[in-house]
Structure 1
Amino acid sequence: MIQPFSQLCCPLDSAPLTLSDKTWRCEQGHSFDVAKQGYVNLLPVQNKRSKDPGDSKAMVQARSRFLGEGFYAPLADALAATVLAAPAGSLLDAGCGEGYYLRRVLDTAASRGVEMSAAALDISKWAVQAAAKRDSRVSWLVASNSSIPVPDSSIGTILCVFGFPVESEFKRVLSDSGRLIMVDPAPEHLAELKQVIYDEVKEKPSNLPVSEKWQLVSEQRVTFSVTLPSRDVIHDLLAMTPHLYRASSAGRERAEALTSLTVTVDVWLRVFAPNV
C-alpha cells in the first residue's frame, strides 16, 4: 500500500504539523492550507529568492508533454528497480518536478505489493501543482531542499533526479540506514542536441555529485537512444532543460529548424549512504 508521508514540520519553527480539515497546523498556531490540487505550500515568503522560484509553468508543461510520450521510460524503469532493490520505507523525492519518475517508482511498488509512504517537494509551485493533480498517494510540498520540512532521521530513501542536493539537509532527514539515490547527466547525455545549439561543446567534469561525506554504494550507467519525431517534441526537450537559457539565440534557432533528431540519453544512476 502506498500512502502519503504524514510527518511534516512547520517551516517557521520546525514544530510537528497536524492535518485537520485540509489545513496543516503546528502548536504555535502557524497554519498551511491544502490547495484544491492536493498540495501544501511550505515555502515561506522570506525563503524565496524570487517571486516565482523554480521551473516556470511553460517548462513544466513542456516536461510533462515530453516525459508523457515515454522517451525516458527506460530511465524511469531503471530508477524504480534501484529503489525497490532494498526496502524503501519512507520515500522523499527531493526536486520532484511534475512527478513522472516518482509515479513510475510508486506504480512499480504497488504492482509488487510493496508498502511505503511518500513525500515529494519542489520549489516550483507549477511543478507541484501538476504533480498533485495526477497522484493522491503522495504528500506534495512546495518547499526547498535547503530546508526540508520533515523531522530528523525520518526518511529511508531520498531521490534526487537531475536535482540539486543539499548534503547537510539530506543527512539530517535520512535515517541511520537511509540511502540517497541520484540521477545525473553522464558525458554523452543529449550530445547531439548540444552539438546543434552550441558552437563549442565543453566536456563535463567527471566528479561525483556529492562530497566525501557520502559513500558510493553502487553506480550504474544508463544509456539509450531516442528519436524525436517532430519540431514540437524537440522544442519540448529543449524547453525542459537549462540548455534553453544557456544556448545563444542562433543555437536555439538551429534547434527550432529541425524536424527530427536522434539523441543519446546517458546518465549516472548512483546510490549513496552517508559516512558516519
Structure 2
Amino acid sequence: MSITPFQALACPLDGTSLHCTGSAWTCASGHSFDIASQGYTNLLPVQHKRSRDPGDSKEMVAARRRFLAAGFYRPIAAAVSRAVLAGLPADATISCLDAGCGEGYYLCQLAAAVGDEHTLALLGLDISKWAVLSAAKQDRRPSWVVGSNARLPVLPGTLDRVLCLFGFPVYPEFARVLKPGGQLIQVDAGPDHLRELREIIYPSLKPERPAEMQTPAGFRRLPTQALRFPIELTSAGQIADLLAMTPHLHRASAEGRAKAAALTALSLSVDVRLTCYERDPD
C-alpha cells in the first residue's frame, strides 16, 4: 500500500496553487492557511460560509462514526474501493478526492484496500469542521480539508477520481477538477433504502418516482451497480445512531422519532446505487 501526499490544492481566495511550507499552505499571492495540530486545514473562507458552523454537527458526526465503524456499510465501502481501482495499470499513481467525506470512513477504507502496485494521493473534503476533525484523528495519510463542493480548493484538471457518496454533487466543479477520462463515482440511496425505518417514523411513504438518470454535462455515464443487502441493528443505540446520521432525523415528526427511540432491534434493507461517470475528453 502506498499513500502519497496530495499536492493539487488551490487557494480558495484566488485559485492559485498552494504549497506546503512547514505548518501552513501558502500561495504565491501570500495567502496562508494553517495546518491544525490535528492534521487538517481549513480552506473555507468566512465569506463562503452560509452559517457560522455549516454542515453536520459534532453529535451527528459522532453518531455516523460509531455506526460506520461497526461495519454495517462495509459492502458499500468495498464496492467504492473496487470502482476506484478498477482498470488501473500496474504502478499507477492517481489522485482521488472524496467530496463530502464526512468523518472519513470511505476514504480510510480505500486507503486500506490499495495494494503495493498502486500509489494514491487522497484528499477528503467536508464543509463540517467537526467531520474533518474526526477524519484527521483517524488517519493522517490522506489530506483533510474543510471546504465546499461549490468551490473546490483543487487545481483544474488534476484528479483521476472524485467520490460523492450520499452527498451533494456539484457537477460543474467535479468536471473542472477531473482530468479528461477521470471518473466520478457516486453513491445514492435506492427506493428501498432503510424502508423499514421509514415505515416506522413516517405516517406513510410517498410513492417512489422513477429515478431519471440524466447524465451531467461534461460526462458520459458508465453502467450503474445496484447494491442490496440486509443489516441487523441489535440495540437502541445503533438505531439512534443510524437515525442521527440521516436526513430523516429532521424530517420525521416528534411522534415518529419517539417510535424509533422505543425500538431495541431492527432488521433493515440497504439499497443503494453506485454510478460511475467518465469525464469527457477536452
Alignment of 1:207-222 (within 5 A): 207-208=212-213, 211=216, 213-222=218-227
Task: Tell whether 2:183 aligns with 1:179.
Answer: yes
TM-score, structure 1 as length reference: 0.96
Q: Secondary structure at the match of 1:89?
A: strand
What is residue 125 of structure 1 aligned with on the other side? 129
Amino acid at match of 1:22: S
Paired position in structure 2 for 1:10? 11
Of residues 114, 137, 145, the one that matches 1:141 is 145
- Secondary structure of 2:256's counterpart equals helix
Cα distance in 2, alignment partners of residues 210 and 136 from structure 1: 35
Q: Is the 8 A contact 1:150 1:173 kept in 2?
A: yes
**What stretches of structure 1 of length at least 5 have no aligned partner?**
none
Corresponding residue number in structure 2 for 1:226:
231
> Which of 143, 154, 159 is residue 155 of structure 1 equivalent to?
159
Deviation by residue 1:153-173 (Cα, 9 ceiling, x = unmatched): 000000000011111100000
What is the letter of the counterpart of residue 269 of structure 1? L
Given that 2:179 and 2:279 are in contact with CA atoms closer than 8 Å, whether structure 1 keeps it comes out as no
1:115 maps to a residue whose letter is: T
Letter in 2 for 1:129: L
The 3 A distance-change label for structure 1 pair 12 and 212 is closer
Q: Would you say the 8 A contact 2:100–2:124 is kept in 1?
A: yes
Structure 1 residues 210 and 120 mapped into 2: Cα distance closer, same or farther (>3 Å)?
farther
- Using structure 2 for the length normalisation, give the TM-score: 0.94
The amino acid that maps onto 2:36 is A
Q: 1:269 to 1:30 in 2, by over 3 A?
A: same
Query: Which residue does 2:47 correspond to in 1?
Result: 46
Check 1:104–1:209 CA distance in 2 against 1; reply closer, same or farther (3 A cut).
Answer: farther
RMSD of equivalent CA atoms: 1.3
| Cα drift, residue 112 of structure 1 | 4.7
Q: Please state if 1:86 is matched with 2:76.
A: no
Q: Deviations 1:100-157 (Å, cap 9, x if unpaired)?
A: 0111111101x45421111110000000000011111111010001111111100000
Count of residues paired in the alignment: 275
| Amino acid of the structure 2 residue aligned with 1:41 | N
Q: Is residue 198–residue 205 contact of structure 2 (8 Å, CA) maintained in 1?
A: yes
Q: Which amino acid in 1 is paired with 2:195?
A: A
SS in 2 for 1:269: strand
% identical aligned pairs: 49
